[in-house]
A and B are shown apart, each in its own frame.
Chain A
Amino acid sequence: MIPSILAVVIPVVLAIVVVSLYNRLVRGRNTVDNAWAQIDVQLKRRYDLIPNLVETVKGYASHERQTLEAVVAARSQAINAQGPADRAAAENMLSGALKSLFAVAESYPDLKASQNFAELQEELAATENRIAYSRQYYNDAVLTYNNAIQTVPANIVAGMTGFSPREYFQAPGEERGPVQVRF
């Protein structure tokens, strides 16, 4: 009698555990996807602001060609980057190019006084800040998810059902802490 009860109870308990772990992993993966989508939204917003910024700067400092071209090149590299690590590296390069552009703007009082430029600068600074928070949110979600799929017993379920670790949004060799870019 007891063996037959165990033969029924053990598979049922195992099935409940597996389903519960699987659902937890799916929730974690969806959180990561959602967090990535948030980063994507903010990055796209930045890509959209940059052409306006370049045009505005061109109107006042057209002979700063090299700096402007660097920004445009960094933007297109960032748009074409694939995967979190490559994209983080490209975004860092773009942030550096934008910093140089704003440094150049310091030498042009008319440009600095332009309301359009000031608004764009503020909007870009706010977008940078949002990107930083989105990045922190994404990396926290990835940490939780990666911990879940690599620890016992969820790793067994993850291995069977094809869950794989996600990449952090960070350039190679970069710390995973908060990164703030200030213009």
Chain B
Amino acid sequence: MIAWFAAAGAVGLWLLLLLALAVATGNPPVPKNEVWPGPATGALAEQSPAVVDLITGDWRLCDEAPSATLLDLAAKGAVGIEEIGPELSLVRLRRDPGDLTAYEKLVYDHVRSLAVDGVVATGALAEGSRNLSRWWKSFRKKVISEARAQGLSRPRWSRAHTVLLTAAAAVPAVAVGIAVTITDRKHDGGIGAAIATFALLIALMGKLNGERGTELGARTAAHWLGVREHLAATGRFSEAPAASVTIWGRHLAYAAALGLAPRAVTSLPVSTPADDRRAWSDYGGMWHVVNVRYPSRLLWGRAPLPTIGRGLAAGFFAGFWTWIGLLVASAFDVWPDALVQPGAYAVGLAVAGLPLGYAIADLGGRAAVRGQIVRLRQVQVGSKGNNRPKYVYWCAIDEGRSREAKAFGISEELWGRLSEGDRVTAQAGRRLGWISEIEIAERSRLRGTDTYDDTGEHRLNAPQNLGDPPSA
């Protein structure tokens, strides 16, 4: 029992040490951890909008930062933003973007990967084959890297803190190990318990890690909060469209980073997941919207052969239960005896007729659908045995004739070979909406544009719990 008290005491002391260090390493000014705005000013300092977003957001990067970076690129002339209509604006690449920071290049490369003839519609910025979560992490790392290089930001745990906490964690771990060894009759669980305790404490230490500000960072953040007050008082940024960067210049980019320009930020969905139902397609050479529908009808997105089986089964059961019902009805003289069987057959045929007719029609003649894949989605519809999730797979194709596309059902095997942006010719049933064959005429040009896959460029301790990617 004494060993357990000693172990509990050791763990408690380690937790106290962790708490003390956590308080001591909070954001400046310690201990209030709150940066107050400086005097209102219109003087823009040298930090970029993304860094400003980080340091004025309690050292957490918000999802306005990539949009603000794009606005800054526009203000600096690397790209142009032009308004064509209330719901259509274009981002146009300029010839030479000049020297870009790592995260500016990331945003610029994303725009360039989407551009057709140097142009991409602003709404289409959410498109592309990138892994959004990885892209966001890469962006965040690069911004943090610059903020640290400017002395504005630091990780909570310095090397000394890490060494101290790690070494100190060994004490409670050993104490727990000894306590378990003494208590355990076989005396073989002590090492495992010590390792598990040590891992747990280190994980807790890691969880509390994150980006924190420096004294200089706090002073700079106070200045930028003063700029925010000035911009909030003088500019009407909340309704300013992204194209108004031509008038406002970098002020709009900073207003976006400081949360004052929601309309401009929303219209540049650089770090936003693509909408399932509103796709942007460049099929035909120009970006345009395609509204995608995923019909939830019983007889859409179904393979013909299983539909025949289901139709027959449904017809059989409907006919059988009708037969039972009519038998009972005839026993009470409510239904004529002679019509019991014909009635059951009629109901069975009526139930089975539609799926059978659709399936046979689709098996007899499939239509060729040529176009570009705009949406590939899997939707969970239940679970199979062993709690394995069951999915249905959808593939929407822009045929270039209409701004509406009805997604087709497709098998998992075919679905896995495709990617959005592929030019395809599919053989699909127009009644059941099922793709039975699909041929890729041209692979998506958006494949292989993972320039954000930075391995080694910015190796820094930026914990995963810092600045979550924007929610879907």
Q: Which of B117, B287, B403 contacts A140 (CB 8 A)?
A: B403
A134 touching B84 in the complex, CB below 8 Å, given contacts A126-B92, A129-B119, A180-B117:
yes
In angstroms, Cα B119 to Cα A134, docked, is 13
In angstroms, Cα B403 to Cα A140, docked, is 8
The answer to whether B85 touches A137 (Cβ under 8 A) is: yes
The answer to whether B117 touches A130 (Cβ under 8 A) is: no
User: In this assembly, does A35 line the interface, its C-beta being within 8 Å of a C-beta of chain B?
Assistant: yes
A180 touching B84 in the complex, CB below 8 Å, given contacts A133-B90, A140-B403:
no
Q: List, in ascending order, chain B residues with CB within 8 A of A11's CB.
A: none
Q: Which of B85, B90, B285, B287 contacts A35 (CB 8 A)?
A: B85
The answer to whether A178 touches B117 (Cβ under 8 A) is: no
In angstroms, Cα B88 to Cα A31, docked, is 12
A: number of interface residues (CB 8 Å): 19
0/1 interface trace, chain B 56-85, chain A, CB 8 Å (1 if under): 000000000000000000000000001011
B: number of interface residues (CB 8 Å): 18
The answer to whether B286 touches A180 (Cβ under 8 A) is: yes
Instruction: Please classify the interface of chain A as helix (H, G, I), strand (E, B), loop, or mixed, using the class held by over half of its residues.
Output: helix
Q: List, in ascending order, chain A residues with CB within 8 A of B86's CB.
A: 31, 34
Q: List, in ascending order, chain B residues with CB within 8 A of A141's CB.
A: 85
User: In this assembly, does B235 line the interface, its C-beta being within 8 Å of a C-beta of chain A?
Assistant: no
In angstroms, Cα B121 to Cα A141, docked, is 17
In angstroms, Cα B82 to Cα A173, docked, is 31
In angstroms, Cα B363 to Cα A113, docked, is 62
Q: Shortest distance in angstroms between A32's beta carbon and chain B's nearest beta carbon?
A: 11
CB contacts under 8 Å to A, within B96-129, are 117-119, 121
The answer to whether B90 touches A130 (Cβ under 8 A) is: yes
In angstroms, Cα B121 to Cα A34, docked, is 18
A136 touching B288 in the complex, CB below 8 Å, given contacts A34-B86, A130-B82, A130-B90:
yes
CB contacts under 8 Å to B, within A25-51, are 31, 34-35, 38
Q: Shortest distance in angstroms between B79's beta carbon and chain A's nearest beta carbon?
A: 12
Q: Shortest distance in angstroms between B340's beta carbon and chain A's nearest beta carbon?
A: 43
The answer to whether A140 touches B288 (Cβ under 8 A) is: yes
User: In this assembly, does A177 line the interface, its C-beta being within 8 Å of a C-beta of chain B?
Assistant: yes
0/1 interface trace, chain B 272-308, chain A, CB 8 Å (1 if under): 0000000000001111100000000000000000000
The answer to whether A136 touches B90 (Cβ under 8 A) is: no
Closest to B87 in A: A137
0/1 interface trace, chain A 4-16, chain B, CB 8 Å (1 if under): 0000000000000
Closest to A137 in B: B85
Closest to B285 in A: A180
The answer to whether B286 touches A133 (Cβ under 8 A) is: yes
Given contacts A129-B117, A129-B118, 4 further A-B contacts (CB under 8 A): A130-B90, A136-B286, A137-B85, A177-B400
Which residues of chain B have a CB within 8 Å of any CB of chain A? 82, 84-86, 88, 90, 92, 117-119, 121, 284-288, 400, 403
Which residues of chain A have a CB within 8 Å of any CB of chain B? 31, 34-35, 38, 126, 129-130, 132-134, 136-137, 140-141, 143, 177-178, 180, 182
